[in-house]
Amino acid sequence: MLAAVLQIRDETLQVLLWQRAQQPDLGRWALPGGQLGADEDVQSSVLRQLADKVDLREVAHIEQLGVFSEPRRVPGVRLVATGFLGLVPCDADPAVPQDTRWHPVSDLPDTAFDHAAIVRDARDRLRAKLSYTNLGFALAPTEFTVSALRDLYVSALGHPVSATNLQRVLARRGVLVATGETAPPGPSGGRPAALFRFAERQLRVTDASAVLRPPS
């Protein structure tokens, strides 16, 4: 099992990597992971690995990316790995061990084995699901303003997003609910922003492809 754990840090989509201290690929950066235990399924296992090995418990969403099984993906041994996408809300600041560090997904260091490809898969999965599910809940804090949420989407998607339209799309789909509270304006003034919350914190598909759907 290998987990590409993503979080928006400093307006940037980052992934948690640790630096290998032994051969092969000594010094290169690798995804956290480990072996499947006897009495757990792969998902429980990867959550356990993250808690045990990098002391990470704030994972708001995790899902399988697929099996990586190239015969020579790891030199010397035959290793088949199940890759995962994990997401950590941007307000969490987990204390990770010495040898681990967050790296921008768009500017990875030298990575071990095929781990760069797994990170790319994770990023692509996140980008796709942000637009047709409520997956934003896993990146955002519990309460937020629309423009803060917009900034998260911009960082994850890598292209401009209009706060106006983001608000309307998510509201129409019933993904966002207003708390009734407002956030104080910044030092330079401006209207105070309404605070929102995700209606659910479980993955839900909100925009099932409209095409070829059953007649009404």
Give me the residues that bind DNA (CB under 7 A), please: 145-147, 162-165, 167-169, 172-173, 182, 184-194, 207, 210-213, 215-216
Q: What is the DSSP string of 45-98?
A: HHHHHHHHHH------EEEEEEEE--TTSSTTS---EEEEEEE--TT------T
CB of 71 to its own copies, least distance (A): 5
Q: Is 157 in the site for its own copies (CB under 8 A)?
A: yes
Tell me whether residue 110 or residue 207 sits nearer to its own copies (CB atom). 207
**Using the rule CB under 8 A, is 130 a contact of its own copies?**
yes
Phi, psi of 199 (to 5 degrees): -65, -35
Segment interacting with its own copies, rule: CB under 8 A, options 22-30, 41-49, 90-98, 196-204: 41-49
Strands 81-87 and 2-9: parallel
Decide: 174 and 198 in contact? Cβ < 8 Å: no
Distance CA 166, CA 124 (A): 20
Confirm or reject binding of residue 139 to its own copies (CB under 8 A).
no
List contacts with its own copies (CB under 8 A): 36, 38-43, 45, 64, 66-67, 69-71, 78, 80, 82, 128, 130-132, 153, 157, 159-162, 165-166, 169, 207, 209, 211-215
